[in-house]
């Protein structure tokens, strides 16, 4: 595999199917946004409330661009979907700013949530993942993916193919950063990609193989397509060498 660290687990049985450097603490880039989404939803704020992109949401750290121009006003629900599906940094930043107490309180809530989930090697400094000090381990991220899978909106938004939103009078299309969600060969319940230079290409998913929920965490891969190729290789290896581990669940088992 091209990923320097990975962790693959059968979420139902707890069996570790594949791992390398699973306890290594690494920058996680936009995988951060799964925690951002959980904190937003935990707060119970109105999803229809308008959220405005401001100067504070412009990326001064990495200089990344965005099609969400200054003054763009969308609902909290739309911003949440763009953050999860398209990894929109300004959307994630605006969600943190519109949290009770502002961004500082939001980041603190992210770290409190991490402790509650037992993510002892995880630390957040912003809501976007642009800050390389946002770190975690593959093992921690598997727990975070499993936790996020309990939120119906995270499942829906992170795996949606596309969404059109109005930006200054024009309807703009935003797509999913994970091409696998559009593949009929995959059943994916949670998805998030990430990239900054310090983190490499990252991908986390909850996917279904032989009716079993399998969490894949792939970190620090190189090349634009390596993380999805790694996911395909993991799936092929599991289906060829470990079919007994992925046997159909007993009749009546929960999902």
Residues that are catalytic: 30, 33, 87
How many Cβ atoms are within 10 Å of 183's Cβ, its own excluded?
12
Whether the Cβ atoms of residue 200 and residue 4 lie closer than 8 Å to each other: yes
Is the Cα dihedral 232, 230, 84, 82 positive or negative?
A: negative
**Exposed / middle / buried, residue 132 (Cβ in 10 Å: 0-12, 13-18, 19+):** middle
Phi, psi of 206 (to 5 degrees): -105, 120
How many Cβ atoms are within 10 Å of 65's Cβ, its own excluded?
10
**Exposed / middle / buried, residue 97 (Cβ in 10 Å: 0-12, 13-18, 19+):** middle
Q: What are the structure tokens assigned to 77, written together?
A: 């629900």
Mind giving me the DSSP string for 66-97?
-SS-TT-EEEHHHHHHHHHHS--HHHHHHHHH
Whether the Cβ atoms of residue 85 and residue 78 lie closer than 8 Å to each other: no
């Amino acid at each position: 595999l091209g990923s320097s660290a990975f962790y693959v687990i059968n979420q139902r049985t707890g069996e570790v199917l594949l791992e390398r450097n699973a306890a290594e603490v690494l920058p996680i880039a936009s995988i951060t946004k799964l925690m951002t989404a959980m904190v937003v939803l935990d707060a119970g704020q109105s999803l229809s409330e308008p959220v405005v992109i401001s100067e504070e949401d412009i990326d001064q750290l990495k200089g990344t661009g965005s099609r969400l121009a200054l003054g763009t006003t969308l609902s909290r629900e739309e911003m949440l979907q763009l953050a999860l599906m398209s990894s929109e940094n300004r959307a994630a930043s605006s969600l943190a700013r519109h949290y009770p107490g502002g961004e500082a309180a939001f980041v603190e809530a992210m770290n409190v949530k991490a402790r509650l989930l037992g993510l002892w090697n995880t630390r957040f400094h912003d809501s976007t993942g642009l800050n390389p000090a946002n770190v975690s381990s593959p093992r921690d991220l598997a727990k975070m993916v499993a936790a996020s899978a309990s939120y119906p909106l995270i499942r829906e938004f992170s795996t949606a193919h596309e969404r059109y939103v109005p930006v200054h009078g024009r309807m703009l299309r935003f797509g999913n950063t994970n091409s696998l969600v559009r593949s009929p060969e995959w059943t994916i319940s949670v998805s998030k990609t990430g990239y900054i230079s310090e983190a490499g290409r990252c991908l986390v998913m909850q996917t279904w193989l032989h009716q079993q929920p399998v969490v894949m965490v792939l970190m620090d891969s190189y090349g634009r397509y390596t993380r999805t190729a790694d996911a395909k290789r993991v799936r092929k290896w599991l289906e060829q060498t470990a079919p007994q581990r992925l046997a159909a669940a007993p009749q009546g088992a929960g999902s």
